[in-house]
Amino acid sequence: MPTASSGPGGRRGWLLRLVVAFSFAQAAVSMARPAVSYRALSLGADERAIGVIAGVYALLPLFAAVPLGRRTDHGRCAPLLPVGVLIAGGCALSGMADSLAAMAAWSGVMGLGHLCFVIGAQSIVARQSAPAEQDRNFGHFTIGASLGQLVGPLAAGALIGADIDRTSAVALLVSAAVGAVSLTSLWRIEHVRAAGGPARQAPKVPVSRILRTRGVPAGIFISLAVLSATDILTAYLPVVGEHRGIAPATVGLLLSLRAAATIACRLVMTPLIDLLGRTVLTIATCASGGLLCAGVALPVPVWGLGVMLVLLGFCLGVGQPLSMTTVVQAAPADARSTALALRLTGNRLGQVAAPASAGLIAGVAGVAAPFVMLGGLLLVAAGLGARRGPPRRGPGEADSFRSATTRTERSRTGPP
């Protein structure tokens, strides 16, 4: 695999541009998700309906992820990125929708665009990073997501005012424009000599074999749990804010504090891995995140909620990049994009099931109860993290890993 991210700064420009593009794409989604919740509330939605709309966002991607991953394993990754224009289309059409059914449908379109963008982008990072660089590069890649999650809710909170129906529509149209901007930095993002991937005639690795590979199931579930927590925080904190009398701007600030803490975590993740190791770091952050997530259900003051969300954001920052590295290094070499797609399928399954379950729980036990459910999910993820073994390496890869690490440290001039 070419070490496209090491060496002179020009060789690393692809990662910087990918992070920038992902930042805009994620900002659009993170602005749109709470705006969709507020607009649905203005159209008469209750907690159950909010859960259904949030779940439909992930429904189409649930069925599309593996076929798209298969295609990427046997071809180029970059052609999937422009399909991310569906993010902008879904945001714009959600802003113009006048029924809950239409909002759910356009949320599904938004989710499909996001899935295509993420599969293409993650596959590029996996294919163009040396083994020793994967933790770092996936960490930097997910910083793009965190930047978007930082800016998006703040922008939504600033745009949504007392006239929720009109201002939430404006927020969705603005998020559509932000999503369109994400496509402007994707020129020549994929190195041609790395783009071919495995031969097109190579037999497909069965999904069952990938799922039986040690480390893959744990990586998928950890990612599912972390993303479900992030997703329900984004979708349900506005509902909690409405019930507790917290203004939309304050809710946006709280969500952005969570995202800022996630960025901070990913900036220091490499030294944390060196200090604690992947397994201990995964267990500690998932377990702590579970307790903090359950704590959101408590009737704490706004400042206390802010402190909990900062700590929770730091804990949630670990699971996604480490689960990517775990899945990529454990999966067969000619099925890594498919393995990443299975990980995204798990994510989308969580995004369908968790909001739907949250809606049912909220309808019965109150709007804070879903956070207790998420706490339990993260504690299960911590247990699975304790059981998984270290990523499998092929013959001789340990030596190449060490030498690549040495090259990386010598050539590093700062984060891309």
Q: Which of 53, 72, 173, 70 is nearest to 117 (CA)?
A: 72
Q: How much is the pLDDT for 311?
A: 92
Q: Which residue has the tokens 């659009």?
A: 28
Q: Quick check: 235 and 289 in contact, CB under 8 A?
A: no
Tell me which amino acid residue 397 is.
Answer: E
Rounded CA-CA distance 119/134 in Å is 16
Q: How much is the pLDDT for 80?
A: 67
Token couple for 398: 């340990």
What 3-state DSSP class applies to 235? helix
Q: Quick check: 127 and 1 in contact, CB under 8 A?
A: yes
CA atoms within a 13 Å half-sphere pointing along the CA-CB vector of 387 = 13
Q: Which of 366, 351, 369, 202 is nearest to 297 (CA)?
A: 369
Q: Quick check: 123 and 336 in contact, CB under 8 A?
A: yes
Tell me which amino acid residue 80 is.
Answer: L
- Which pLDDT tens digits describe the chain residue by residue (416 residues)? 333 444 333 455 878 888 888 889 889 988 888 888 888 888 887 777 877 887 788 777 777 777 777 666 665 666 667 777 788 888 888 888 888 888 888 888 888 888 888 887 877 777 777 777 777 777 778 788 778 877 887 888 888 877 788 888 888 999 899 888 887 766 666 665 444 444 444 567 666 777 777 777 888 888 888 888 887 787 778 777 877 888 888 888 888 788 888 888 888 888 888 888 878 888 888 888 888 888 887 888 888 888 989 999 888 888 778 877 777 777 776 677 777 777 877 777 776 777 667 667 766 666 667 788 788 888 888 887 776 544 444 333 333 333 333 333 333 333 33
Q: How much is the pLDDT for 343?
A: 81
Token couple for 18: 């990918």
Rounded CA-CA distance 144/129 in Å is 17
Rounded CA-CA distance 83/78 in Å is 10
Q: How much is the pLDDT for 359?
A: 66
Q: How much is the pLDDT for 95?
A: 84
Q: Which of 223, 195, 171 is nearest to 349 (CA)?
A: 223
Q: Which of 128, 111, 136 is nearest to 77 (CA)?
A: 128
